[in-house]
Amino acid sequence: MTVAVPHASHWGAFDALVEDGRVTAVRPFARDRFPGSLIESVPDIVHASCRIDRPYVRAGYLRHGPRSGALRGGEAFVPVDWDTAIRLVSGELDRVRQAHGNTAIFGGSYGWSSAGRFHHARTQLHRCLNALGGCTGQLTNYSYAAGMTLMPHIVGTNDCITGPATDWPSIIANARVLLCFGGLPLKNGEVCSGGAGEGQYRRWLREAGAAGIRIVNVSPLRQDAPDFLRAEWLPIRPGTDTALMLALAHEIVAEGREDKDFLATHCTGWPILRAYILGGSDGQPKTPEWAASITGIAAATIVELARAIATQPTMITSAWSIQRQDYGEQPYWMTVALAAITGGIGRPGTGFTFGYGSINGVGNPRHDLPVPALSAGRNPTGLFIPVARVTDMLEKPGGVCEYNGKRIVYPDTKLIYWAGGNPFHHHQDLNRFLRAWARAETIVVHEPWWTALARHADIVLPATTTLERNDIAASSRDRFVMAMKQAVPTQGQARNDVAIFADIADALGVRERFTEQRDEGAWLRHLYDTARAGWTAAGLETPDFDRFWDAGHLEFTPPERPFVLFEGFRADPYAEPLNTPSGKVELFSETIAGFGYDDCPGHPVWRAPKEWLGAPEAARFPLHLLSFQPATRLHGQLDQGRVSLASKVAGREPILIGPADAAARGIKTGDVVRIFNDRGACLGGAVVTEGILPGVVAMATGAWLDPLEPGAPGALCVHGNPNVLTRDEGTSRLGQGPVAQSCLVEIERWTEPVPPVRVHAPPPIEEE
């Protein structure tokens, strides 16, 4: 007998079809008119052969105890019982905090974790550690760290990145040009943090295309706009978006087409930025001819585009990806400046927003409502590092990180605790990271699967998947709240993160502080009822928890009136000022200028990336590698599922390369190739395509790291993880975001026997 159980995930809502205690298939949520394909991998991941079936301890750790300098990843693991595992973890937490203080505990776990709002591993981890006196935490994220640090200085909020954004109905009704730096990739619209009941992004793109809006895809990749949009493709050299924006601004100003009234009444610092654009402050006018030599886009094309956006209602959008580069703050700042110059900010369907096409839900019509959410509590240490600076922290205890006007002193990290994330996907320069990772004395990981993170841990605790527990999925970007009902029994000896942390908290005397004497069911009711009080205050009638749970979902009706970002500010900047020092759009920021950062001065500027096709290093590594988010999984999640596996080329992660670059290297589609630079090397499967700028190659992130020699930093990744190649450096001292998109490589055909991919099977296991 088949039973359909309602559930949800970051990659969509679905019914899990269960037979004899196993998920055999999934069926899309009935209300989702545009379901994605990623849900098809769900049965594979729940019952994968690489599930961790019981607690394990690295053999060397079990024999010798905690110590610094252990290069993890090459040793076998020994199974232990849960009592032993809890004793080891709680004992280490207590030892480290007593001997070195709580800042010596690093609570990592950046990542998407579960869509469930209660069983959210990162929140549960920090809730437990905070109950024990805190830890060193992380702030910002890998997705848009530079932008989220910058925007509060410029427009007083991060709503332009996280939402609510000017919604698609407003764009479709009012914009005539949609200028997209980084494009509008369809694949990213398949996922939504917190879960989504309906994948609306595809719908809005189709309506935008049908509305006759001129859509311009400014990207090295044609695929960054789906074919049905019939978008103009403007291939641009990676890392040069700021130069193009400056040249567009120059042409508009030179022809006297800037919105002088808006710049005078709603902005501060325009005379300073104008002088820079025209060359008065540095002697270099930012003309289309100047930008053509940098971007590879013809000056005449820049002139025509500048006139179009100056004379027609235009929405300017920049993808999250374009700020993940050297000086990544600059294209975001200049996006705002260009929208101010054209005068579109606060008008229906125009202005600027970041992230259309970066995630499902940006631009969805929605009410600004609370969602059920568990609090991690306050971190008593007050110590946080920018998320992408973890290697620096491990390498340089006592060193200083300059960030956003502050000086953060790195702690001496002794214990790393990770749950609900995977730095071996997110972080850059993994070989450097592995050497820094070895400095920790103890590494504890919760994982359902034998990922690279689990293989590089000391104590591995098997966590359940979402299908083995009850939860609530909800996102501020989506109008549905979804019941995530347990579909199958717990697999092996896996346990929920909550139960694991409750036992650790119990061993250390803080169980009640952690659990508040609520079990899973009580917590779900509490979180739902708390959110429901906010819905009621907004004038919305909603069912009680029992009726919601029985129905399996709750749906909010979209608002009738389209939302326009900064509409009130546009109408009256004195009555509704921005939360900036001037109350206006800061085209020049006295605050940022006062920090004295030469890598991020007081107004947007062009800075040549350290690695790009115009750099001296391009003589040795002449191809610019872009590492993009995959279409076949979410980051590293679902890599062992059928959708991801079907996309592999010769069992490796595909790498896109243009015909001329492929021919020059004797490469054809289907070949296994070696991609390399001074930081590392990996194998990939070549896909030759016309839809990529010459000199550029592109490879999705998320293939599980699979070194040819496990435990040896610098070993060839045989599976195709591009982060063995990317550089680990901050965007600037302001944002300290990752710079993964500033990366030069070379490629050659692999002529040796092709090594097997082993990472989707368990590592060596020793019996105690």
Paired residues of 518 in beta bridges? none
Cis amide leading into 28 (omega within 30): no
What is the residue-wise DSSP string for 293-352?
HHH---HHHHHHHHHHHHHS-EEEEE-GGGGSSTTTHHHHHHHHHHHHHHT-TTSTT-EE
**Per-residue DSSP letter, 290:** H
- The arrangement of strands across the sheet holding 3-9 comes to 3-9, 12-19, 22-28
Q: Is residue 599 exposed (0-12), middle (13-18) or buried (19+ Cβ within 10 Å)?
A: middle
* Residue 707 CB contacts under 8 Å (≥ 6 apart), including other chains: 73, 715, 716, 717, 718
Q: Which helix (H) or strand (E) holds 445?
A: strand 442-447
Q: What CA–CA distance (Å, rounded) separates 478 from 9?
A: 13
Burial of 405 (0-12, 13-18, 19+ CB in 10 A): middle
| Nearest C-alpha neighbor of 669 from the set 682, 685, 646, 653 | 685
Q: Which residue has the tokens 């004899």?
A: 20
DSSP state of 754: P
Alpha helices in 371-415 (DSSP H): 390-395
Q: How far, in Å, CA of 279 to CA of 83, rounded?
A: 69
Q: Are 414 and 441 in contact (CB under 8 A)?
A: yes
| Contact in structure between 383 and 410 (CB atoms under 8 Å) | no
- Which of the residues 61, 110, 410, 417 is marked catalytic? 110
Is 410 a known active-site residue? no
Amino acid, res. 498: V
368-387 residues labelled b (16+ CB within 10 A) or e (exposed)? ebebbbbebbebebebbbbb
Among residues 56, 112, 168, 204, the one annotated as catalytic is 112
Q: What are phi and psi of 317, to 5 degrees?
A: -130, 140
Token output for 5: 């159980």
Instruction: Give me the residues paired with residue 316 across strands.
Output: 179, 352
Return d(Cα 537, Cα 118) in angstroms, integer.
23
**Of 746, 744, 738, nearest in space to 322 by CA:** 738
**What's the alpha-carbon Rg for the chain, to the nearest Å?**
25
* SS3 readout for 486-542: CCCCCCCCCECHHHHHHHHHHHCCCHHHHHCCCCHHHHHHHHHHHHHHHHHHCCCCC
Q: Which residues are catalytic?
A: 110, 112
